[in-house]
Amino acid sequence: MKSDDNRSVTRERMQRLETLLDGDDALRDRLQAVLRFSRKIRVSEYHLTNACNIRCKGCWFFEYGHDTATREAKDLEALEAFLIKETKERRVNAALVIGGEPTLFPDRLKLYVKHMAHVTISSNGLRRLPMEGFENVAVGLTLFGGGPMDDELRGIKPSGRTFQGLFDTALANYRDDPRAGFIYALTENGIDHIEETVVRIRDNGNRVNFNFYSAYDTDDPTGLARQADLLEEALRVRAKYPDTVVSTPYYIRTMITGRSHFGRFGYDVCPSLSQDHDTHAERLVNGNPVLPFFNTWAADLKTVKFCCTSGHCDGCRDSQAVISWMVVSMDRFLESKLLLETWIEMAESYWKQFIWGPFHWTKPAGQRHAVLDVIGDGVVSQVTTEMGYGETMPNPLHAAVPVSPATAAGAKAEAGAFA
């Protein structure tokens, strides 16, 4: 049963939403659609295997020994029993399957498709996921740095032998394939490659979300000497190719700086932690929302991992964790109609990645472009074709009132999100 505090927060939120949506039925419909769909999704993450066919520089999975921490379960019957338990007992209906490299084991993936309503894999693109039997599987293709940097950072076989053409291979494998989208980890050393890389993705008939390259093999994985330059170029390219770059400006800014208008990304706000991991008891009651029922399972099908990624929060700017932080934080975007619209755009853009959902870019609800960038320096940049990039209007955040502690305390995962 909800506490009186939570009830009053919900009432406060509903009143605020009514005020913001008054007279704008189109925006109301969009909000309702995105909340309705988000609430249906109950996601968890699965390490399908500890094996990978390459060794990227700075990969957290190998850098922190996730490949050797557990013994991989290879028995298909055991996997099927595990998945039945996940769907029946924990009522998970969306699987984010990572590794290692999931395409190495299509027979295991088939079981995910059989038992989960929605399946997404993260892949390096070296092998193509067959179409037959996997028509509705979303494929997130990882890409580091762009241009020649991808090969420098990733063209490395497990034996240590180097090779060329990983990005070319991924493009060839997924040309005009609506299941696939690139997850492009930006780095300041690759600023000059961002536009050419996005153009190649566009010309290949794919879409791209921006990620942040954390060099997990260094002391300061998120350190940036040229943060402003990287941000400026990412936003410029996003504005120039709104059909191709799915990420919204607000999200891009948050990912690159690690800051939103209401705080800094880190463990205390990150929603993508495993609920059944025994270290999170305090975090789960600190008032910041989490992904309901989310767990990440190791490849032994028994071990619950700390969270959706490395478990090293100091150097973390994981894109799916950052966007999930945004999507579960709707209450922080109720200060003005402009902020609410920014949140709706961000949530819609998040779901655009997944072929299995109604917001995918091939479907009508996914064909809108994000329009607002509300954290500019005193300005709001319009970045759609309706208004050219660079045209501005006053930034309402400069007059924004901080969110009340009561509102923050009640913000409990109103919108379920994917990690």
Identify the residue among 102, 155, 258, 311 touching ligand SF4 (CB under 6 A). Answer: 311
Residue 389, classified by CB atoms within 10 Å of its CB into exposed (0-12), middle (13-18) or buried (19+), is: middle
Q: Are 224 and 187 in contact (CB under 8 A)?
A: no
Q: Which residues 58-77 are close enough to bind ligand SF4 by CB under 6 A?
A: 59, 61-62
Q: Which residues 70-129 are close enough to bind ligand SF4 by CB under 6 A?
A: 99-101, 124
The answer to whether residue 258 forms part of the interface with ligand SF4 (CB under 6 A) is no
Q: Which is nearer to ligand SF4, 270 or 403 (CB)?
A: 270
- Give ∠ CA 177-241-346 in degrees, rounded to 5: 85
| Least spacing, CB of residue 1 vs ligand SF4, in Å | 29
Looking at the DSSP bridge assignments, the partners of residue 140 are 122, 181
Question: What is the bridge-based pairing of β-strands 392-394 and 379-382?
Answer: antiparallel
Question: What is the bridge-based pairing of β-strands 94-98 and 43-47?
Answer: parallel
Tokens (6 digits) for 39: 């609430």
Residue 356 CA: distances (Å) to CA of 41, 95, 194: 11, 12, 28
Q: Which is nearer to ligand SF4, 155 or 366 (CB)?
A: 155
DSSP for 178-206 reads TTEEEEEEE-GGGGGGHHHHHHHHHHTT-
Q: Which bin fits 367, alpha (ψ -120 to 50), beta or left (φ > 0)?
A: alpha
| Least spacing, CB of residue 263 vs ligand SF4, in Å | 13
Kindly indicate which of the ranges 71-79, 89-97, 301-309, 397-405 contains the residues binding ligand SF4, using the contact rule CB under 6 A.
Answer: 301-309
Q: Which residues 183-212 are close enough to bind ligand SF4 by CB under 6 A?
A: none
Q: Which is nearer to ligand SF4, 199 or 313 (CB)?
A: 313
The answer to whether residue 318 forms part of the interface with ligand SF4 (CB under 6 A) is yes
Identify the residue among 20, 31, 43, 52 touching ligand SF4 (CB under 6 A). Answer: 52
Contacts within 8 Å (CB) and 24+ apart, 382-385 = 383/235, 383/238, 383/239, 383/242, 383/249, 384/242, 385/242
The answer to whether residue 54 forms part of the interface with ligand SF4 (CB under 6 A) is yes
Identify the residue among 16, 202, 312, 369 touching ligand SF4 (CB under 6 A). Answer: 312
Identify the residue among 21, 149, 194, 316 touching ligand SF4 (CB under 6 A). Answer: 316
Q: Are 317 and 255 in contact (CB under 8 A)?
A: yes
Q: Which is nearer to ligand SF4, 303 or 384 (CB)?
A: 303
Calpha distance 315→102 (Å, rounded): 25
The answer to whether residue 267 forms part of the interface with ligand SF4 (CB under 6 A) is yes
Q: Which is nearer to ligand SF4, 116 or 166 (CB)?
A: 166
Identify the residue among 187, 197, 244, 310 touching ligand SF4 (CB under 6 A). Answer: 310
| Least spacing, CB of residue 122 vs ligand SF4, in Å | 7
| Least spacing, CB of residue 290 vs ligand SF4, in Å | 10
Kindly indicate which of the ranges 190-198, 238-246, 303-311, 363-371 contains the residues binding ligand SF4, using the contact rule CB under 6 A.
Answer: 303-311
Question: What is the bridge-based pairing of β-strands 138-144 and 392-394?
Answer: unpaired
The answer to whether residue 56 forms part of the interface with ligand SF4 (CB under 6 A) is yes
Calpha distance 86→154 (Å, rounded): 33
| Cis-peptide into 100, omega within 30 deg | yes
The size of the interface with ligand SF4 (CB under 6 A), counted in residues, is: 28
Q: Are 191 and 149 in contact (CB under 8 A)?
A: no
| Least spacing, CB of residue 245 vs ligand SF4, in Å | 22
Q: Which residues 320-359 are close enough to bind ligand SF4 by CB under 6 A?
A: 321
DSSP for 293-325 reads T--EE-TTSSPBPSBSS-S-GGG---HHHHHHH
Kindly indicate which of the ranges 70-78, 223-231, 270-278, 354-362 contains the residues binding ligand SF4, using the contact rule CB under 6 A.
Answer: 270-278
Point out which residues bind ligand SF4 (CB under 6 A).
Answer: 52, 54-56, 59, 61-62, 99-101, 124, 142, 154, 266-267, 270, 272-273, 307-313, 316, 318, 321
